[in-house]
Amino acid sequence: MATTDDLKEAFAGESQANRKYLAFAKKAEEEGYAQVAKLFRAAAEAETVHAHSHLRALDGVRSTKENIQEAINGETYEFTKMYPGMIENAKKEGHKKAEQSFAFANKVESIHANLYKRALNNLGDNEIVDYYVCQVCGNTVEKAAPDTCEICGAPRNKFKLVG
């Protein structure tokens, strides 16, 4: 049991380090520190290797059908339970940046759950569809970027094709 808990903690820590280092790399790049940005991206990639290894040791990657169902469950939990409480806490504390961040994420997690449900229903169809992600709020859309993000109002050029 202790090892399983350790693997879960290590997976979470390595995953967070990956995301943090990518954010640090972006900032270093903006400030003109190309070499430091490159180091942060290399370390982020190594953290991904570690996280995936820990997840495999937890038997956390199953069939695609099971993985989609787990993703649906996780996204649904986030927009029905996790983020609503966080939004309320941020409102009470007057933390506007957190409130907006949580509100954007909350709306997008519902979209993700629906995209996963559609993927589960269409599993095996093998139709290739492009996805675009708003770099302001995370809104995820299929086929083409909209003129304006329906969640945050960002223009089309803020959407990134993900593939």
- pLDDT for the residue 82: 97
Mean pLDDT of the chain, nearest integer: 96
CA distances to 13, 26, 85, 103 from 108, rounded to whole Å, are 24, 23, 16, 9
**What count of other Cβ atoms lies within 10 Å of the Cβ of residue 63?**
8
Domain covering 128-163, topology: Rubrerythrin, domain 2 (2.20.28)
Q: How far is CA 147 from CA 134, 153, 155, in A?
A: 11, 9, 6
The pLDDT of 102-117, averaged and rounded, is: 97
Domain ranges of the chain: 2-57, 62-126, 128-163
Radius of gyration of the chain (CA): 18
pLDDT in tens, 125-159: 888 999 999 999 999 999 999 999 999 999 999 99
Residues 100, 101, 106, 110, CA torsion sign: positive
| pLDDT of res. 127 | 84
CATH architecture of 2-57: Up-down Bundle (1.20)
Q: Which fold has domain 62-126?
A: Ferritin (1.20.1260)
Q: What pLDDT digit, counting tens, does each position of 152-161 carry?
A: 999 999 999 9
Question: pLDDT digit string (tens) for 23-75?
Answer: 999 999 999 999 999 999 999 999 999 999 999 999 999 999 999 999 999 99
